Amino acid sequence: MGKQYEGTIERIDGCRWRIPKSHKDGMLVDGVVYASDTLMRQIRTDFSLEQVANVACLPGIVRHSLAMPDIHYGYGFCIGGVAATDPAAGGVISPGGVGYDINCGVRLIRSNLMEADVKPRLKTLIDRLFATVPCGVGQCGQVVFDRRELKTLMRVGSRFVVERGFGFAADVDATEGGGCLSGADPDLVSDRAIERGLRQCGTLGSGNHFLEVQVVQELFDQRAARVMGLERGGVCVMIHSGSRGLGYQVCEDYLRELRDTPRKYGIELPDRQLVCAPVHSKEGQRYLGAMRAAANFAWCNRQIMTHLARQAFEHVFQLRPPQLGMTLVYDVAHNIAKMEPYAVDGGERSLCVHRKGATRAFPPGHADIPAKYRDIGQPVLIPGDMGRNSWVLVGQPGAMANTFGSSCHGAGRVMSRTAAVRSAKGRCIRQELADRGVIARARGRRGLDVELPDAFKVVNDVVMVVDAAGISKRVCQMRPIGVIKG
């Protein structure tokens, strides 16, 4: 996953480390990494810390180049990277700070079912979900849109598919930003990207994407859990997916289109993967318009899969929606860039916040989170791995003060996909998961091998850092009992 980092890194406190801007020429701000001693030993083994330093060279960057404790090597930005740029000071937008899977994200659906209700029919349920929710490379969805509909979907977001019967109005309210980034311009999305998206809305995809049936294992904040409708032993569904081939193509198109833009604006970059454009430039606005359209597609994708998952539950348990109580707790975006206001140098500025493998974590009282969560903070959903556990947290004031309203987004890889497949050789990951009480389904052996639990940091270690740092607070721990993957 890259060579070991050998540069300067200084401890700030029990949760933070600094890469001083003296580390390399061109750094405009320090790098700040959130990690424990144990995690830092892992983090040092790849090139991701150097990527934090590289991001600190971006024009208009504010305060710090940040990395969450799930940091690992990515394209341009590390995964787990956060950076805010000030457009008024020449701040840039970088597709590498969003990633190829635009608005890859996670949503959690709670239910009225308890583990004891589900266990006797768990295998039937997982098989039904696997048959109902399309997953795997190249899989097409049950729901097909024509080009005109797809462009409307990319402009309107979740509300478009909900109004067509794929969910409820409450789902839109429980989705970050109401499931829509304003300013989306589908006309800036290439024909090739649209072609790839025509039959992929409502599909899981492959790689680290999953649909998981989980049980609430332990409560750490009973009040917050009660507001979210979560109780110990309750069964939930977590869905992790993004914008599929459409978003990938948008990223690829604009990396190509912006290739010569830094030279045009006199921007020197330490890594060509950080290709960028001033936010206020024509080039920057074109990318933002297309990126927002792909983000809206991703929200619709997860919304349709929510509808399909509900149908599978209804079929297996022969219960109607009010009896099942499968309500959306929340949906968070991971790979996205958004314009958000923050206090900088005594005044409020609208900043372009890049979150690359990082989750928004707004605190109690923030106007941009649903009213029902305003007293507890925005739900923060942190998936772990197939064999261990995931977490639900809530945003805290420290996130607004220190990380541009951001938290970690998962466990974070410690093993490349190639190394994971090599590690799985001679093993049966499906059986290993079954031995842990997890029923797993995938299109092929590789789907489980590349995501085997050993390939990830221990998510509990990651979550303890953001909790201790006052970025997001633990609410409950979730245990997997069934998973489907591509």
Q: Which active-site residues does the annotation give?
A: 409
Strands 406-407 and 439-442: unpaired
The span from the CA of 317 to the CA of 327, in Å, is 16
Contact between 415 and 45 under an 8 Å Cβ cutoff? The reply is no
Contact between 103 and 381 under an 8 Å Cβ cutoff? The reply is no
The span from the CA of 169 to the CA of 172, in Å, is 5
Strands 64-72 and 30-34: parallel
The span from the CA of 225 to the CA of 427, in Å, is 38
Contact between 298 and 156 under an 8 Å Cβ cutoff? The reply is no
The span from the CA of 267 to the CA of 373, in Å, is 42
What is the token pair recorded at 333? 């975006």
The span from the CA of 15 to the CA of 35, in Å, is 5
What is the token pair recorded at 107? 């949503």
Contact between 118 and 112 under an 8 Å Cβ cutoff? The reply is no
The residues with which 67 forms a beta bridge, in sequence order, are 33, 81
Contact between 216 and 231 under an 8 Å Cβ cutoff? The reply is yes
The residues with which 395 forms a beta bridge, in sequence order, are 472
The span from the CA of 114 to the CA of 318, in Å, is 15
Contact between 84 and 61 under an 8 Å Cβ cutoff? The reply is yes
Nearest to 485 by CA among 456, 434, 444: 444
Neighbours of 358 (CB within 10 A): 32
Provide CB contacts within 8 A for 42, sequence distance 6+. Answer: 414, 457
